[in-house]
Amino acid sequence: MDAHVSPSRVAGRARAPPSKSYTHRAILAAGYGEGTVVRDPLDSADPHATGRAVEAFGGDVEWDDDASAVRVDGFAGRPETPEDVVDCGNSGTTMRLVTATGGLAGGLVVLTGDGSLRSRPQGPLLDAVTNLGGRAESTRGNGQAPLVVGGAMSGGSVAIPGDVSSQFVSALLMAGAVTNDGIEVELETELKSAPYVEITRELLADFGVDTERTDAGFRVPGGQTYRADEYAVPGDFSSMSYLLAAGALAAEDGETLTVEGARPSAQGDSAIVEILDRMGADIDWDRDAGEIGVGRAALSGVEVDVGDTPDLLPTIAVLGAAADGDTRIVNAEHVRYKETDRVAAMAEELGEMGASVTEEPDSLTVHGDDSDLRGATVDGRGDHRLVMALAVAGLVADGETKIRGAEHVEVSFPGFFETLADLGAEALAGGWP
């Protein structure tokens, strides 16, 4: 499906979707327990993949007709061996979190996904499961899915790199709570995307599970029980970033775009507010009300370290293309291991739109003074975040922008183009009004 975006002004109010990161973790945490109602979940492809995995392990997952809640009867900390292969679709979060769950099963669990997911690195997590008493292998011997895990992992101490994916740590903390011995994770390298581990720890506390930081990493005692009658998912700051960027670049003169559902949480991507403020945006966050208002203003380039906020790179790159001076995005090598290589992809697709971009192994610099955004045909590359970021760029490009693969926004922001249109944008995807 293609999307078409023309130069537009936006204003009004919009609510960002619930957090995908919290929804994944809440559904799986409920699976580790016995019965939980997860309120306000993100109803999209990736969380449904996690729900299917919980069912494969012996739980029952039922979404309300209006998707306002998902009701989970869990497997009480003892995952069954699935009767069939567990297909994680395009969801890297699902695969990594449930790899550790599968390591608890007495038999063997086969995990796979689509072509993109089968190219993403899982080796350090497989090694960790093996070192903790389970069995974990890549069927092709390359550290990538399909994976085979099982062997009733018992727990213990393990050392893993922190600069590949924080999801490895989150997976081990979630599974470690129900092992006999608990799990202590020593980080061999600096932890990238650290706020995502704090999201996991915050959510685990809400389910009655204790974790702690150590001098070398993290620890979760074993023999714990997941308990929560209800859990409410907060709004998603990664998704809010596109709306906030749209307001900063394209708000009507004298008007603001207000994003609802922005209550404080452990989400690292709330850093988008501070980044926009540093760039000179007219932005105000009412934390008590959970609302952020943003108006159009002249922006200036800044340097942003995305070590903890990899999902913001596409948004920041688009902001940089419309800002004065250089916007330098650093500490970004791990962003190459997402749904696509987002560093290279944003460099190439923004280049198609007339941006001047310098790509290095661990950084991306957008030269705003040498950029003149124009409409073009660009490829979302099967990556929801690229599609949404390029749509924001289309709001301020000269001429129409055509974005291939628009349907992938359903992964994290169902109805994204409808939301843009409701705010006044000339945005159309497929047959949507």
| Residue numbers belonging to the annotated binding site for 3-phosphoshikimate | 20-21, 25, 165-167, 193, 311, 338
Number of H-type helices and E-type strands within the chain? 12, 24
With beta carbons less than 8 A apart as the criterion, state whether 41 and 47 touch.
Answer: yes
Structure tokens at 363: 């950084």
With beta carbons less than 8 A apart as the criterion, state whether 4 and 250 touch.
Answer: no
Interatomic CA distance for residues 287 and 237, integer angstroms: 13
Torsion 318-321-323-328 (CA) sign: positive
Q: How buried is residue 68: exposed, middle or buried, by Cβ count under 10 Å (0-12/13-18/19+)?
A: exposed
Other C-beta atoms lying within 10 Å of the C-beta of residue 399: 12
With beta carbons less than 8 A apart as the criterion, state whether 344 and 360 touch.
Answer: no
In 182-321, at which residue ranges do the beta strands (DSSP E only) sit?
183-187, 212-213, 217-220, 230-232, 257-260, 282-286, 291-295, 303-305
In 7-75, at which residue ranges do the beta strands (DSSP E only) sit?
12-15, 36-39, 60-63, 69-73
289's CB contacts (< 8 A; 6+ apart) are: none
Binding residues for phosphoenolpyruvate: 20, 92, 120, 167, 342, 385
List alpha helices for 78-148, DSSP H.
Answer: 92-102, 123-131
Given the residues 43, 46, 311, 383, select the one marked as catalytic. Answer: 311
Q: What are φ and ψ of residue 18, in 5° steps?
A: -60, 160
SS3 99: helix
- Is 311 among the catalytic positions? yes
Q: How buried is residue 67: exposed, middle or buried, by Cβ count under 10 Å (0-12/13-18/19+)?
A: middle
Interatomic CA distance for residues 406 and 144, integer angstroms: 27
Torsion 354-355-358-361 (CA) sign: negative
In 3D, which of 352, 355, 397, 392 has the Cα closest to residue 374? 397
Q: How buried is residue 302: exposed, middle or buried, by Cβ count under 10 Å (0-12/13-18/19+)?
A: buried
In 3D, which of 188, 199, 194, 117 has the Cα closest to residue 157? 188
Active site residues: 311
